[in-house]
């Protein structure tokens, strides 16, 4: 049943989503600083990459609120305090939040938007939920690598990319420094997660 946007739950849900995405961006920026302090410079870039996508999500939700310009939208919600000196814990907490958005929060918001007659908002919620699924899976994978000590090591022939110079190292264990640019190993990332390496699959 269609309702006026100004009186809708969708308006409030969009503001909740805007607040949530904005906070996620800041949490990941803070987590990136922790990764940098611990010498995981490539992981810092992953956090910042994800943070920028959260910024884009927030911008889209905010855009859908443009008819309410000048208004003060009151919302009530709970938002996580994810603080830890453990990178694994930070990754798993981030993954939990992403999975919650994908599985529960945004599907519910999309359903409400559809019922209230706002298909554009419903589409935004449902599609951004799918992106959050990818974010969550990536965080879990990295956390597992760190826990199993396979982020820099492989039981067989592994591949890593140095994000500073692009060198692809092949072997069982990333060296202390990049053989090419001499940057420390924290600049290496498993090739399966390196940006743009999938170009060879393009035809």
Q: What are the pLDDT digits (tens) for 186-195?
A: 999 999 998 8
137 and 181 housed in the same domain: no
User: What does the pLDDT look like over 120-169, one tens digit per residue?
Assistant: 999 999 999 999 999 999 999 999 999 999 999 999 999 999 999 999 99
In which residue are the tokens 């309410």 written?
Answer: 68
134 and 66 housed in the same domain: yes
64 and 120 housed in the same domain: yes
117 and 159 housed in the same domain: no
pLDDT at 16 over 70: yes
Choose one of 107, 127, 147: the last residue of a domain: 147
- What pLDDT shows up at residue 202? 45
- Read off the pTM: 0.93
Query: Domain of 130?
Result: 5-147
DSSP 83-126: --S-HHHHHHHHHHHHHHIIIIIHHHHHHHHHHHT-HHHHHHHH
- Is 27 in contact with 47 (CB distance < 8 Å)? no
User: Domain of 63: which CATH number?
Assistant: 1.20.1260.10
User: What does the pLDDT look like over 22-76, one tens digit per residue?
Assistant: 999 999 999 999 999 999 999 999 999 999 999 999 999 999 999 999 999 999 9
Average pLDDT of the residues in 91-111: 98
Give the HSE-up count for residue 108: Cα atoms under 13 Å, Cβ half-sphere. Answer: 10
Q: 76 — phi, psi (to 5°)?
A: -130, 130
Q: Cα separation of 114 and 191, whole Å?
A: 41
- What pLDDT shows up at residue 196? 81
Q: Cα separation of 17 and 15, whole Å?
A: 5
pLDDT at 88 over 80: yes
Number of domains in the chain: 2
Average pLDDT of the residues in 67-91: 94
User: Domain of 187: which CATH number?
Assistant: 2.20.28.10
79 and 172 housed in the same domain: no
94 and 138 housed in the same domain: yes
151 exposure class (CB count in 10 Å sphere: 0-12, 13-18, 19+): buried
Query: At 197, which helix (H) or strand (E)?
Result: none
32 and 108 housed in the same domain: yes
């Amino acid at each position: 049943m269609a309702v006026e946007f100004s009186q809708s739950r969708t308006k409030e849900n969009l503001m909740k989503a805007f607040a949530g995405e904005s906070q996620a961006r800041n949490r990941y920026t803070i987590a990136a600083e922790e990764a940098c302090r611990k010498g995981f410079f490539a992981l810092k870039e992953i956090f910042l990459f994800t943070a920028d996508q959260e910024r884009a999500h927030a911008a889209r939700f905010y855009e859908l609120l443009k008819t309410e310009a000048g208004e003060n939208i009151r919302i009530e919600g709970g938002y996580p305090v994810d603080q830890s000196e453990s990178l694994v814990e930070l990754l798993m907490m981030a993954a939990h939040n992403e999975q919650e958005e994908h599985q529960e929060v945004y599907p519910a918001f999309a359903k409400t938007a559809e019922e209230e007659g706002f298909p554009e908002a419903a589409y935004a919620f449902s599609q951004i939920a799918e992106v959050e699924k990818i974010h969550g899976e990536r965080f879990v994978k990295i956390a597992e690598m760190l826990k199993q000590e396979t982020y820099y090591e492989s039981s067989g022939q592994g591949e890593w990319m140095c994000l500073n110079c692009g060198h692809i190292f092949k072997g069982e264990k990333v060296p202390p420094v990049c053989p090419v640019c001499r940057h420390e190993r924290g600049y290496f990332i498993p090739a399966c997660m390196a940006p743009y390496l999938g170009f060879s699959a393009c035809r």
